[in-house]
Each structure stands twice: as structure tokens, then as C-alpha cells.
Amino acid sequence: MTIDDMRERFRMLLASAGQHENATDALARRINRCLMLFDDRLYDLGSGDYVHLAAADTRDAIRISDAAAKLLQGYQPDTECVLLLLPPSEFLVNPVSMPGLSPDAMRAALKLQALTQLPEFDHVLNLSLTGNAGGNSAQSLVWWIPDTRTSELFNAFATRSIFLAAVLPRPVWLMAGLQRTLPLQDFVLQESDGHMLTVVAAGYKSTGDDRAETLSCLQTASYDIQDADLYAEWQKELARAGISGIDYTVSTGDEYMRLLRQHNLQDFDYRTATTGAFPAPALSARHQLDRGRRRGAAIKAVAAALVLVMLPFVYQSWQLNRAQNQLAEIRELSAEARQDQAAVREFETQWGVLTEFPDQDIGATMLELQQVINPGVLAMFAIDKGFISIEGQSQDPQNVLEQLEQNALFTEVDFARATNNNRYFIDLRLTTVNFPAYQERHFPERR
């Protein structure tokens, strides 16, 4: 690659840095839960609760995500994102000095220089940039972490339906909080765990009309300082860095949380979150998250419209339910009356065979027939279950048939057989007697 090619690549990277920063800035604004891994505990900085991990699982992404799932009670995947504070041993830190560059331009430039700054790494690196918030920092800190590690953590959290938006070195979060409460003051923070001892110094020096921020960091393995000779060399390194005393010391997760509470640093800080290392899958998922939120808003709007449309039906259902409840109360109150009614019906059923037996009233029927056939002669009369057969003589049998048809007491009037001279045979039925209906009601099995 020629020098001109490098210049062109650098220019294009700086031009796209604003878009990258916009992406990280938008993602950082969605972070509202902060977790911290300290030795064998995973803490929730908001509540102070923690979950134990086995010592062998503190670098296992799956085990860390399992502990996070236990810790994040009531987590809402659609509205909440998580920032994870990792031990300094997960990062490589080195100071950088790029005065005049904005943070987004510095990120782009540092990624371009990753191979020259850390030549021993041939893998893609992610970074967390500390300092240079206003673009006038004399010296900042860049914390490098393999991009595969951040992606591994993101994927592990995703299997538990937790959105890991960014990771950040553990001392950075505490140091940024102290800088907010102690503006333009020099201080030194020492943090140690079972793996590494980290000392971070924040200072300010005059640059004419303003004071530029300077940050420095020293690290060593925790077991090294247990050796007298190595401890002496460590003290010399501190002296060469201009560090003569320690203002804040943190060696356990409880001490970390105690220092947060002492300075009222429990609340989430969006500005510090923007300095974190954002996993590549989280950045690519940002647009899907936006679409999901818009889809959620659309669903809520549709649901609200459906509620408005369904209100009349809901009101009718409420009225129906109320009427059913009232009916149940009325039925309960009328239970005794219905029992009495059932007793009466039972009595009627038992005695109906006798009381409802059809009355043929033969006397009234004979008198009615006499009025119709007079002055003719009735030779034979037979009645059975309301059906009547008569035989007689008349000068006009057809007239007798017509008069019987017109009489309201008789129906189904017809000649039973042909007349012989003046002799007639007629069948008819009483309209007041219905034996088939009587049998159907009281003796249905006999049909």
C-alpha cells in the first residue's frame, strides 16, 4: 500500500466516523441496565444485587450470560439494553495523544493504526476510548479487546434474550463517575482483583486559556507484587509515572459498590456508555431494534383502534353478563315457587289420565244429530273415541250430509258407502274430542 493509498483510506475512514459515532451514540442511549463482573460475582449496579459464579466460569461467556439472566429480574428485551463492565485483564491498554481530534475521529484513526499500535495481534480489535470528551485531551487511554470476544459475549447474552449493547473496562466506569463529582481535580484510582492490579491516574495541566485532561494507566499481575523485588520495581514504575499516592483503592466488588454509593454514582451515565466497545452484532442489530420499536408502536396503535371499535361490543357483553347475573339471582329467589309449580305439574301428570279423558257427551251429540236429520229416520248410531257412524233414511241424503258439514260440532263428514235409494251411511267425528292427542300425551309408548 502506497502513502497516497493510506492517506485516501484514512480520509474515507474519518469521513465515515461521524456515521459510526451516530450508530454508537444511538445504541448507547438505549442502555439502561449496567452489570459488573468482579472476581466470582456478577453485580447489578442499579440494585446492588449479585450472583455467584464458579471461579473457572468467570471468562466463560455462556456462564456469564446465565448469571445475568438470574440477576436481571423483570428484564424487558424490547425496551432494555445492557452494558457489561469487564475486568481490566480482558483488555490491553495504552496511552494515546491526538489533541484536536474529536472522539469519533480518534476511534477511526485508532482502528486504522491498530496493526501498528499492537503488531503482535493479527485479529480484528475493538476498542473503548477513555478521555478526550471535548476533543482537547492531552493524553487519552485506549482499551483494546478482540472483536471476537465482544461478539462472543453478545451472542451468549442473546441466547438468554438479553441485548448486550456494549462492554467497558471496570475501572473506566468508576473513574468517569469520580471525574463528574470531582471536576478538574487530580486523583489516582487503584483497582485489584484476583488477576490484575490496575492504577489509573487522572490529571489536568494548563494549556494557556484551558486545562487539558491527561490520563495514564499502569497494570501488573496481582501475584507479581507479592514478590519483594517485583514490588520494588512496581513502585519505581509508579514513581516514573508521577504517581506518589493512591486516593481510592478498590479490591472487592463490595468495595466498588460502596464507593459508588459514597459518591452517589449508582445512576446510569449515558456519556460514559458512549466510550465503551460496541460488539459488531449489536451495531448491526440496532436497525432491527428500531424497526421492532416502530412495529411495537404500530401494534399499540392498532390495538388502541381495535379497543375503540370493540367498546360497543364490550359494553353489550357487560350488559348481557349483568342480565345473566340478574337472571341467576331471580332464579335463586324463585326456586321455592318453582318447586311448588313442579309439584302441581306432577299432580296434574298423575291425575291427568282421568281428568283429561275426552268427554264424548253422547246425549248432547244425539240431540244435535236429531236436529240435523229431522224429519228423517235414524236407524243406527255408533260412537267410538269421537268417531261416529250413522245409518238412516231421508228424502234428501245429500242435504243431510251438507247440514252435518256446516255444524260446528262435527268434522270429517263423508258418506261411508253409496246410498241405496233414500238410505244413507255417513261417518263423521266430533270436533270436541281428540283421542290421538290424549294418547300422545299420556300414553306415548302405545303409539
Instruction: Give the structural domain span for 393.
Output: 362-431
What integer pLDDT is reported at residue 42 of this predicted model? 95
What integer pLDDT is reported at residue 38 of this predicted model? 95
How does pLDDT run across 215-240, given as a tens digit for each residue? Answer: 889 999 988 888 899 999 999 999 99
The Cα–Cα gap between 397 and 400 comes to 5
On whether both 397 and 327 belong to a single domain, the answer is no
How far, in Å, are 144, 153, 199, 242 from residue 190 at the CA level? 20, 26, 4, 14
Q: Average pLDDT for consecutive 10-residue bins of the chain (447 residues)? A: 48 44 76 92 92 90 93 81 93 83 79 74 83 65 91 94 93 89 86 92 67 82 88 91 89 92 81 88 74 71 79 84 87 82 72 68 82 82 86 85 86 82 86 79 67
Residue 94 falls inside a structural domain: yes
What integer pLDDT is reported at residue 6 of this predicted model? 45
Q: How many domains does the chain have?
A: 3
Residue 74 falls inside a structural domain: yes
Q: How would you list the strands of the sheet with 50-52, edge to edge? A: 50-52, 41-44, 31-38, 81-86, 164-169
Instruction: State residue 409 phi and psi, 5-degree precision.
Output: -80, -20
The Cα–Cα gap between 142 and 207 comes to 22
On whether both 336 and 305 belong to a single domain, the answer is yes
What integer pLDDT is reported at residue 136 of this predicted model? 56
Residue 13 falls inside a structural domain: yes
On whether both 113 and 250 belong to a single domain, the answer is yes
On whether both 70 and 134 belong to a single domain, the answer is yes
On whether both 126 and 91 belong to a single domain, the answer is yes
Residue 444 falls inside a structural domain: no
Residue 250 falls inside a structural domain: yes
SS3 content of the chain, % helix, strand, coil (to 5): 50, 25, 25
Residue 332 falls inside a structural domain: yes
How does pLDDT run across 257-277, given as a tens digit for each residue? Answer: 999 888 888 777 788 888 899
Residue 56 falls inside a structural domain: yes
Which of 329, 354, 379 corresponds to the end of one domain? 354
On whether both 384 and 318 belong to a single domain, the answer is no
Tally of residues, the chain:
447
On whether both 31 and 75 belong to a single domain, the answer is yes
On whether both 268 and 300 belong to a single domain, the answer is no
Which of 305, 331, 354 corresponds to the end of one domain? 354
On whether both 329 and 415 belong to a single domain, the answer is no
CATH of residue 373's domain is 3.30.1360.100
On whether both 301 and 370 belong to a single domain, the answer is no
91, burial (CB in 10 Å: exposed 0-12, middle 13-18, buried 19+)? buried
Beta-carbon count within 10 A of 177 CB: 19
On whether both 49 and 143 belong to a single domain, the answer is yes
On whether both 47 and 169 belong to a single domain, the answer is yes
The Cα–Cα gap between 117 and 333 comes to 91
Q: Which residues have C-beta within 8 Å of that of residue 302, sequence separation ≥ 6?
A: none
Strand 410-420 with 423-430, pairing: antiparallel
What integer pLDDT is reported at residue 132 of this predicted model? 62
What integer pLDDT is reported at residue 410 of this predicted model? 86
Residue 257 falls inside a structural domain: yes
Instruction: State residue 327 phi and psi, 5-degree precision.
Output: -65, -40
Which of 253, 278, 303 corresponds to the end of one domain? 278
Q: Which residues have C-beta within 8 Å of that of residue 288, sequence separation ≥ 6?
A: none
Report whether 148 contacts 165 (CB < 8 A). Answer: no
